[in-house]
Amino acid sequence: MNIGVVTRSFPEMSNKEAAAFMAKNHFTSTELCFSQTDSNFWVYNGRSDLSHLTSERVGDIIDIYRGAGIDVTAIGVFTNLMETNAQELEQNLAYFERHMEMAAAYDVAYVSTECGFLPGKRGIQLDTYESAFTSFVETIKILTEKAEKHKVTIALEPCVLDIVPSAKRMADLLHQVGSNHLKVLLDPANLIANSSEEDMFFYLGKHIAYFHGKDRKVNDARGRIVGDGDIQWERFVKLYHQHTEGIPMILEYVNADNAAMVRDRVMQADARL
């Protein structure tokens, strides 16, 4: 299997240190978030000042990973696409497009995001069940037009905690947006409370850009490392081979102390098939 790890797992490392660690531990791909000690720009569900992150610096960082044999599968954005303030949303979309420009300049196929959320109002609310989703569809349509212009693809990560909480609703979103520049960042932990392993591949298999590798108990709010939750990993890996052979599975929620062990858990599940 093509197993990678997110750069966010190693905020204490420089990019050179993170790339060397990945190579030493036989990781083959990464989701690049600018989260290292020498490129500390990543902000979850928000924005950072990217004025000092020049195109040349982005190219240097990407070359570090590629030079170590690590494929940069995606650049992670993860800004808030559910923002209701029009000016703030416009700035978030501009921030997202800046990441598209980075990806396009250095042949990175995907730019990644969750739906985003308003603090204190995360997820589905009864009074906005339809209207919030409709607004989100329109926001994604704007982004996919920008993605088409830059010749990159958005990898959207649905989650039980957000406005797109199941494989079936994600499939509906893909249908409504109708763009080849929108795919799925499938994190099974984020859907396991609403969708079985089979559902994930049935509804989304042909639309998957890449995977996040983590786990979750069905009734947990927070994810866990692979093997510590309720996902049936042998079943999941079997479906992976049937439907998405070779697509990267990029680990999350690991650190320098346990990343290799978690990688081995995935490989052991694969070996038991």
Q: Give the pLDDT band of residue 215 (cuts 50, 70, 90).
A: very high
For residue 149, what pLDDT is reported? 98
Q: CB of 225 within 8 A of CB of 262?
A: yes
3-state secondary structure 22-62: HHHCCCCEEEECCEECCEECCCCCCCCCCCCCCHHHHHHHH
Q: Where are the domains of the chain?
A: 3-271
For the chain, the average pLDDT equals 97
Please give the Cα distance from 109 to 100 (Å, whole number). Answer: 9
Angstrom distances, CA of residue 109 to CA of 12, 53, 105, 209: 27, 20, 10, 9
H or E element at residue 214: none
Q: CB of 251 within 8 A of CB of 5?
A: yes
Q: Average pLDDT, stretch 153-182?
A: 98
Q: Average pLDDT, stretch 81-100?
A: 98
For residue 84, what pLDDT is reported? 96
CATH number 3.30.420.40 is the correct assignment for the domain at 3-271: no
Instruction: State the number of CA atoms in the 13 A half-sphere of 41 facing the CB.
Output: 22
| Two tokens, residue 246 | 């070779």
For residue 173, what pLDDT is reported? 98
216: exposed, middle or buried (C-beta count within 10 Å: 0-12, 13-18, 19+)?
A: buried
pLDDT in tens, 22-42: 999 999 999 999 999 999 999
Q: CB of 153 within 8 A of CB of 182?
A: yes
Q: Average pLDDT, stretch 232-254?
A: 98
